[in-house]
Structure 1
Amino acid sequence: MSYQALYRVWRPQNFGDMVGQEVVTRTLKNALITKQISHAYLFTGPRGTGKTSAAKIFAKAVNCHFLKDGEPCNECITCRAINNGSLNDVIEIDAASNNGVEEIRDIRDKAKYAPTEADYKVYIIDEVHMLSTGAFNALLKTLEEPPANVIFVLATTEPQKIPLTIISRTQRFDFRRISAQESYDRMVYILDQKKVDYDPSALRVVARAAEGGMRDALSILDQVLSFGDNEVTLENALLVTGSVNEELLNQYLTQIFSKQTSLALETLHKILAEGKDGQRFGEDLIVELRNLLLYQQDPALVEEQNLGELSEQFIESAKQVTSEELYGMIDTLNMITQQMRFTTHPDVYLEVLTIKLCNRSSGNSESTDSVSTVQSSEVEELKKQVQNLQQQIKQVKIGTESQPHTKQTLRPQNSVPKKSKKTTRTPANLTKIYPILEAATKDNLNEMQNLWRDLMNMLSVTQRALMHVSKPVAASKEGVVVAFDYDFLFEKAVDNDSLRSEMEANLAKLTGSEFKIAYVTVEEWPEVRAGFLKNHSVGSQKEQVDGPETGVEQPVEKNSEIIDKAVELFGSENIEIKND
């Protein structure tokens, strides 16, 4: 007999053999024991988690006359026929290649006939989400009024593509990803049964590479066995999976954390010289940094996910690097690995990545604190200067009111005229602001105000220091106008293209939509708003529309287009109409 893959030879033949799906198997067994069998089931979950195997076991159990504790006997004629695939009453259909209306109509017509050998006719439709809309409609009628002694078992990896009308007529079972520990235990059992020597570290590598799929784990194990002449070693497992040696990976990260650029580059070249895939190396790095980040919060969780295999070097690294650094490094890695998909020279990107990670801005918690302290002290100093200038302007106003006849000559030399700000300040970019205001609504502004705190938390320390006195004052579905309390922060933000790009990217992550950001000062905002409302109004009579900060005169006819527009932009609670 020709060789069969491990995942076929060791396919579960009863519910007890299934790995990691205790909730599903217990529910199905209880339904069989109590004879509470539904006419349709939907099995959903990631690939290789046992959906089709569970469907076949259920088909055996529902037709087995020697059922014991909800398990099929696997010895009777019916069970053996189903195992061999020779029972005509259990029909397995691949919806990927039989997804048309005609195929489903054929099933519907044949389902009307009673089973020939078994008690129930069972249809197992794999990857059912691949059916066309017409095919789903044809299946719907059968599920709605099912013939007697017919059971449908639908299996899919993408339940979101199945119409709700189909889902509502089935009993849904969600199969979860199989943990690395469960995959490891199953492989140990199989190799012990086969009397094959293995290295436990190699099985851990295979279990992690399978990413929650038992079939994937057995397929990779099959490759390792073939490569190593029926022997499972760590070296062979690393070669087959393309994973990086744990020792080299830890060495590389230690050099990165210590900012030893030349040594880190040497280690990188050593890893690539072993034939490791650059994309896989990037993924391994992300997983390792993610483990470090989780270990700082919940060590037990990481120990469980890594099968208790945490080196002393890993634990030391978790103490050596801060959470802020790990966030930044993961973001950089994400960006580089995405770019690597479209290049034929991944080694160049990895070298740039290594230099970037070694030259990151904050090396430890002390440096992070120092950056934060410097930024906050600068902001406080600038605030004091602004307060002094405002105080001087107030004194000038008091003096001119008490002596109006000397208004032109009694201005103190050290005071700053109001107009000097406007002549030196960069004006707001109306070409960016007006398109946003044309589609702006109060609901969009409220939504943006709710997101603002989360957006600020996603910025770096330096960026937050620049943006902490800003706020959204108008928003549409595609843009937001941000007002700054201080002109000097507005100037810095206007010149900072990286800040704008970072904020737009973060908004896209939070909302799933692309946003354009425009800046304005709090002092200039009423004028900008008034200008926009004036350009979008009609008539010649005048009324005064007050916004959240100050009133702005706008021409308004009996037709209240301008008032409606102001309410839409800023909300009725922020609008006050005054007659001249």
Structure 2
Amino acid sequence: MTHIALYRAWRPQTFQDMVGQQHIRQTLQNAIREQRIAHAYLFNGPRGTGKTTTAKVFAKAVNCEHGPAPEPCNECAACRGITAGTIMDVVEIDAASNRGIDEIRDIRDNVRYAPSEVRYKVYIIDEVHMLTTEAFNALLKTLEEPPSHVIFILATTEPHKLPATVISRCQRFDFRQVSLEEQIERLRQITEEEGITAEPEALEYIARLSDGGMRDAISLLEQSAAFGSEKITLEGAVDVTGGLAVRQFAGIAEAVRDGNAAAVLPLIEGLMQGGKSPDKCLENLIYYFRDLLVLKLAPASAEGMGRMADPAVFRDMAEGFSSERIFRMIDELNRYQNEMRHAAHPQTLFEVALLKICTLPESASLGSGAQPAADNRGASAPAASGHEIAALQQRIDQLERKLEQLQRSGGAAPAAAPGAAAGGAPARAGSSGFGPRSGGNLRTVKLDPFASAAASADTAQLRGKWTEVLGRIKDARVTVHAWLVDGEPVSWAGDSVLIAFKNTMHRETTEKQANRELIERVLQETLGKPIQLATVMQKDWQQASSGVSAERKAEPLELSHDEPPVAASRPEWVEEAFKLFGEDLVELKKE
């Protein structure tokens, strides 16, 4: 018997034959019994879980000559015709190959006509998510105002791709994966009825490999039966599916656990000589280590959840791995699995993947992409306890307070700006008087010398040439210009220039070594002498310079024709005139 014949022979013909979808069966039967049949249904769920089959059983139940009945009789002409596909009023459409608007328009034009052979016209649209946007729009109009004699059943594995307007007009049923026990029981029933001898371990392996899809399980069952001449063994099922036996898993996992790279390559070579597929082997290994992880993190729910082997068999193997290490191994194997799809030599990539996880350290930093598991701290290098961390943090806080006290009392401070005199208020980036702990490149600057020189001729010259400085920096490196443009030149004292910033991030970026060197080089070229850069926050500068401004406020303004006026006494429009025409062409006179 071929696979198609076997699948058809065991395809559910009534609601009672459905496996693993009792909630859907009960809801649909009650709707038929109470004459509450909706005009549109949406069946969604994993492949092979019975969506299309349920749709055909439902079509038979509502059109049965002895119904509508909760169960089709499968004996009347309507039931037999729907099963054989000869009833023209029950239409099954594959949206993957008929996804255009023309096909949906044909449906929209035909639904207005009453059924000719049975009670209801039933349209089963499989893989409905493949329809185009225009087709969905055409279908939506029909779903909004359907004739009473039409039922739409939409089936899909990806309901998230459907428009919300379509979903809202359907009764939605979520098909779930068939449980392992239900699959094994159905496979055992099939083998008994078909006269096939099967080992219980082989049936369990096939059920685990089908990933909850009954259709896939029946397909693998017949493939294994054909391989073993109507006798299904575990070894034969493993061979025909291209998977790995439990003993082969154990050998690879043991070599990985012990970090024995020399034992990995012979194992791989044996698998390849046995005709195994590298991508299939890699996929099975991911499932195997996934089962180990479930066994470690959720032992109570591990029974019946294992895909590649019985959890009781490899419980000892799970003890040899930490949860953190399994997480990182799965991440690595998944990355290599994605690369293998486009690899010219899959076997080589498979070997590299196993050697990689074989040499992974027991504990790794977060930078490796692994997330450490909370229950695994004891398995790796000793970690600091919460009490020790709290004590260290307290000690850091004490040292910071002491440094702040020293700074306020005039004690030794970090390197001041060159040329700045001793004493004076420091420019603080934070409450402690130092730059941010993350940056480490901000220096404390004593502002008194700069405050005294704020009204000097040098400062006025600096302001006058600042536009030229910015232009040269922009030509040299535009990114540095983008940060520096936020700053304002406020003083030139000795061989140091002070720039005040409004934004802390702009100041921190400007203070980086490479950026500082570029700015100082441009300042030297523009001003004609070696210059060192100092920075300060705008609010700190205003506070430091306010005392000097108050002292000079009462002094009379004395202007000389030979000497340009100081910047502090100039109005803003005068400053702009100096910037535009230069100090040689501008002359101020007191009216």
Q: Tell me whether the two structures share a fold, i.e. TM-score over 0.5.
A: yes
User: Structure 2 matches for 1:344-423, cutoff 5 A?
Assistant: 344-362=344-362, 368-370=379-381, 372-373=383-384, 391=402, 395=406, 398=409, 400=410, 418-419=414-415
- CA change 1:19–1:537 in 2 (3 A) is farther
Q: Which has the higher helix share?
A: 1
Cα pair 1:303 1:309 within 8 Å, conserved: no
Cα pair 2:96 2:128 within 8 Å, conserved: yes
- CA change 1:487–1:282 in 2 (3 A) is farther
User: Structure 2 matches for 1:51-130, cutoff 5 A?
Assistant: 51-67=51-67, 70-130=70-130
Cα pair 1:250 1:313 within 8 Å, conserved: no
Q: Aligned residue for 2:234?
A: 234
What TM-score, normalized by structure 2, do the two folds share? 0.66
Distance in 2 separating the partners of 1:356 and 1:550: 44
- CA change 1:353–1:114 in 2 (3 A) is closer
Cα pair 1:44 1:157 within 8 Å, conserved: yes
Give 1:11 deviation, angstroms.
Answer: 1.1
- CA change 1:142–1:213 in 2 (3 A) is same
Give 1:537 deviation, angstroms.
Answer: 8.3
Q: Aligned residue for 1:454?
A: none
Per-residue CA deviations over 1:306-329 (Å, capped at 9, x if unaligned) read 389636551112222211111121
Secondary structure class of the residue paired with 2:87: coil
* Aligned counterpart for 1:535 among listed residues 485, 489, 502: 485
AA aligned to 1:535 is V
Give 1:547 deviation, angstroms.
Answer: 6.1
Per-residue CA deviations over 1:2-46 (Å, capped at 9, x if unaligned) read 874422221110111111111111110110000000111111112
Q: Aligned residue for 2:293?
A: 293
Cα pair 1:42 1:153 within 8 Å, conserved: yes
Number of residues of Structure 1 aligned to a counterpart in Structure 2: 443
Cα pair 1:543 1:578 within 8 Å, conserved: no
Give 1:102 deviation, angstroms.
Answer: 2.3
Cα pair 1:59 1:122 within 8 Å, conserved: yes
AA aligned to 1:143 is L
What TM-score, normalized by structure 1, do the two folds share? 0.67
Give 1:533 deviation, angstroms.
Answer: 6.3
Per-residue CA deviations over 1:502-527 (Å, capped at 9, x if unaligned) read xxxxxxxxxxxxxxxxxxxxxxxxxx
User: Structure 2 matches for 1:438-457, cutoff 5 A?
Assistant: none
Distance in 1 separating the partners of 2:60 and 2:417: 84
Give 1:371 deviation, angstroms.
Answer: 5.2
Distance in 1 separating the partners of 2:103 and 2:393: 74
Tell me whether 231-240 or 55-64 shows the greater mean CA deviation. 231-240
Distance in 2 separating the partners of 1:259 and 1:383: 41
Distance in 1 separating the partners of 2:277 and 2:124: 39
Tell me whether 363-372 or 164-173 shows the greater mean CA deviation. 363-372
Give 1:377 deviation, angstroms.
Answer: 8.9
AA aligned to 2:85 is G
Secondary structure class of the residue paired with 1:119: coil
Q: Aligned residue for 1:248?
A: 248
AA aligned to 1:178 is V
Distance in 2 separating the partners of 1:275 and 1:186: 30
Per-residue CA deviations over 1:541-575 (Å, capped at 9, x if unaligned) read x99857699999xxxxxxxxxxxxxxxxxxxxxx9
User: Structure 2 matches for 1:549-568, cutoff 5 A?
Assistant: none
Distance in 1 separating the partners of 2:63 and 2:126: 20
- CA change 1:196–1:90 in 2 (3 A) is same
Distance in 1 separating the partners of 2:164 and 2:274: 50
Superposed CA RMSD: 4.2
Percentage of pairs with the same residue: 40
Cα pair 2:94 2:126 within 8 Å, conserved: yes
Cα pair 1:545 1:577 within 8 Å, conserved: no
Q: Aligned residue for 1:206?
A: 206
Secondary structure class of the residue paired with 2:92: strand
Distance in 2 separating the partners of 1:277 and 1:551: 55
Distance in 2 separating the partners of 1:298 and 1:322: 14
AA aligned to 1:245 is A
Distance in 2 separating the partners of 1:61 and 1:192: 29
User: Structure 2 matches for 1:474-489, cutoff 5 A?
Assistant: 485=438, 487=440
Distance in 1 separating the partners of 2:136 and 2:348: 49
Secondary structure class of the residue paired with 2:103: helix
Per-residue CA deviations over 1:156-175 (Å, capped at 9, x if unaligned) read 22222222222111111111
AA aligned to 1:55 is A
Q: Aligned residue for 2:552?
A: none
Q: Aligned residue for 2:44?
A: 44
- CA change 1:484–1:142 in 2 (3 A) is same
Distance in 2 separating the partners of 1:16 and 1:266: 51
Tell me whether 351-360 or 182-191 shows the greater mean CA deviation. 351-360
Per-residue CA deviations over 1:95-123 (Å, capped at 9, x if unaligned) read 22222222222222221111112111111
- CA change 1:578–1:160 in 2 (3 A) is farther
Give 1:280 deviation, angstroms.
Answer: 1.5
Give 1:217 deviation, angstroms.
Answer: 1.5
- CA change 1:112–1:381 in 2 (3 A) is closer
Residue 20 (1) aligns with residue 20 (2): yes
Distance in 2 separating the partners of 1:421 and 1:149: 89
Secondary structure class of the residue paired with 1:362: coil
Per-residue CA deviations over 1:273-294 (Å, capped at 9, x if unaligned) read 3222111111111111111111
Distance in 1 separating the partners of 2:236 and 2:325: 34
Give 1:141 deviation, angstroms.
Answer: 1.8
Per-residue CA deviations over 1:439-479 (Å, capped at 9, x if unaligned) read xxxxxxxxxxxxxxxxxxxxxxxxxxxxxxxxxxxxxxxxx
AA aligned to 2:383 is S
- CA change 1:200–1:421 in 2 (3 A) is farther
Tell me whether 543-552 or 324-333 shows the greater mean CA deviation. 543-552
Distance in 2 separating the partners of 1:284 and 1:225: 22
AA aligned to 2:178 is I
Distance in 2 separating the partners of 1:75 and 1:207: 32
Residue 338 (1) aligns with residue 349 (2): no
Please list every run of 5 or more consecutive structure 1 residues that lacks an aligned counterpart in the other structure.
Answer: 402-410, 412-416, 423-482, 489-528, 553-574
AA aligned to 1:322 is S
Per-residue CA deviations over 1:31-82 (Å, capped at 9, x if unaligned) read 0000000111111112111111111101110011434971111112211111
